[in-house]
Structure 1
Amino acid sequence: MKTAALALAAAAALVALPVAAQETAAPADRVAAFAALPYWPGYWVAEDQAGTTITGLAPLATASTGSSFSVPIMPLRATDARWNAEGRRRWDEVRQSAGGRKATGWGFPMMMGSATPLRFLITPEETIIINFYNEARYIYTDGRPMPPEEDLWPTTYGTSIGRWEGDTLVIETVMVSTPSDFFHGSPPFSENARYVERIRLDGPDRLTLEMTVTDPETLEEPWTAHAAWVRDPGFDRQITLDWTNDRTGNEDGLNTIELAPVQ
């Protein structure tokens, strides 16, 4: 217990230093800071998408009726959010244009709840969350504040500042470009939305996420969702893909898989 307390104290002291000072911190201090951090190795897939086959359907989603919508999946779509008039207008517009539309990527927040595996690379100064489509989020945990408003601009993954509360990673993200412009399955939050996530290990092979979104432009009240990932032992390395293999089609309002192009 005394060793753990010393490690936590060293980690706190390192994070409290200015960024430039951290870069020249004594090696022993950095080793102690690493020792105080959680370690989430391996590849993590959304719990409700675990075991997804080449059909694109997850076993959990098809267990009861054979339908891909027999149980709730992808909770970060915000289907249960309390949209205001502008939010409902955006939601209807996105749903009408989604059929057969190709994806540019998952983007944020959907990459946090997709069937695409994630990795968490944790250091004292930042945590990087990356998926197999080479999409990455950078969460700075070196004690810096959120940049001033004049130094913020909307991006696909937003700007994220994090902190550790014990073994829980707390992330605040702002300035996310309207998510549904990037991926048609995303909720149509505005660029002024504020996302707060809490991620922690719940057992040896399960990570949990609580996400609260505040966006007066599209929501009547803050919306909170819960998701989880399980460790997928089927991966031993990360193979980066792009979206040129998206063969999503649409027929009579249903998603289909288009035939492979003739060579």
Structure 2
Amino acid sequence: MIRAALLGGVLLCALAAPALADPASPAARARQFAKLPYWDGLWLTENDQTTIGGLSEVQEAAKATGEKPKVHPMKLIAPFAPWNEEGKRRLAEVRKTQGNRKADGWGYPMMMNGAAPIEFLITPEETLIINGYRDVRHIYTDGRKHPAPDDRWPTVWGDSVGHWEGDTLVVDTISVKNPNVYFHGGPPLSDDADYAERIRMVGKDRIEVEMVITDPTTLTGPWKSQLAFVRATGFDRMIHMEYDNDRTVFDGDNNTIAPPRDEQPAQH
């Protein structure tokens, strides 16, 4: 009886595990690699060569002339979303508390539209997307599905599965924690939002991303964004910083930069 119960438990666990293909032989895996694109180097959000003040060169140029930038590099920020009443309520709450908030990274989806450089590591089993804040996305392309609802929970980077359609990586991401919780510039979407992406290289120095966000809790309809990366020049490796000298302060209207610690007035 005990042996039968143990066997039943083992079978149940086996049935619950994801059905993944057996590991390929080295030769077969080499053939799989040969079919995949190679997106080498480091990449920056197009039109977002950021200055020390936190604005892009496009925004700085527009600020100097008093005009609005013709091309806004940040496509995933709140003003571009088709908010419903719940979304507008969340946005109003965010604006009350956003001043002087700081972040430990970009999180998803903002890391796909942020100022930090990113790189792509493509293998037959998964594609890794990594940025300078050590944000990491695992996009599984080995045939697995999303975990069952009882086996997943919202995280900063969500759960991503994908497949290749020629040279285009097609990705579906779910279980993303409200992006605004981790990064103060993120849109206050619900934990139930679905993110669909199509990522491809165009030419040798440009990667384009079509992103569609669906979230009936906060949006009136699909939120469609066209994102793009350009190849970074001037540096040849990813540098990760611990960001222990964050001097962001809020002056009542805007975030600004405080003097270095050794130049700040003494507190009494």
TM-score scaled by length of structure 2: 0.86
Report the 3-state secondary structure (helix = DSSP H, G, I; strand = E; otherwise coil) of the residue aligned with 2:28: helix
Distance 1:209 1:78, change over 3 A: farther
Could you tell me how far 1:69 is from its partner in structure 2? 5.7
Report the 3-state secondary structure (helix = DSSP H, G, I; strand = E; otherwise coil) of the residue aligned with 1:207: strand
The reply to whether residue 154 of structure 1 matches residue 154 of structure 2 is yes
Aligned positions of 1:70-89 closer than 5 A: 70-71=69-70, 72-89=72-89
CA contact (8 A) 1:197 1:210 kept: yes
Aligned positions of 1:1-263 closer than 5 A: 19=20, 21-22=22-23, 25-50=24-49, 52-66=50-64, 70-71=69-70, 72-262=72-262
CA contact (8 A) 1:62 1:69 kept: no
Q: Aligned equivalents of 2:114 and 2:257: distance in 1?
A: 18
Report the 3-state secondary structure (helix = DSSP H, G, I; strand = E; otherwise coil) of the residue aligned with 2:209: strand
Aligned residue pairs: how many? 243
Q: Aligned equivalents of 2:78 and 2:213: distance in 1?
A: 10
Map of 2:3 onto structure 1 = none
Report the 3-state secondary structure (helix = DSSP H, G, I; strand = E; otherwise coil) of the residue aligned with 2:218: coil
Output the aligned Cα RMSD. 1.7
CA contact (8 A) 1:212 1:224 kept: yes
Q: Aligned equivalents of 1:145 and 1:111: distance in 2?
A: 23
Q: Aligned equivalents of 1:104 and 1:69: distance in 2?
A: 29
- Same amino acid, percent of matched pairs: 50
Report the 3-state secondary structure (helix = DSSP H, G, I; strand = E; otherwise coil) of the residue aligned with 1:48: coil
1:150-209 deviations in whole A, cap 9, x for unaligned?
111010000000111111111100000111011110000000000001110012100011
1:110-166 deviations in whole A, cap 9, x for unaligned?
111111000000000000000011110100000111111111101000000011111
CA contact (8 A) 2:46 2:73 kept: no
Q: Aligned equivalents of 2:141 and 2:177: distance in 1?
A: 22
CA contact (8 A) 1:105 1:243 kept: no
* 1:245 counterpart letter in structure 2: N
Q: Aligned equivalents of 2:234 and 2:53: distance in 1?
A: 18
* 1:211 counterpart letter in structure 2: M
* 2:75 counterpart letter in structure 1: P
Could you tell me how far 1:60 is from its partner in structure 2? 2.0
Q: Aligned equivalents of 1:121 and 1:83: distance in 2?
A: 34
Q: Aligned equivalents of 1:73 and 1:26: distance in 2?
A: 43
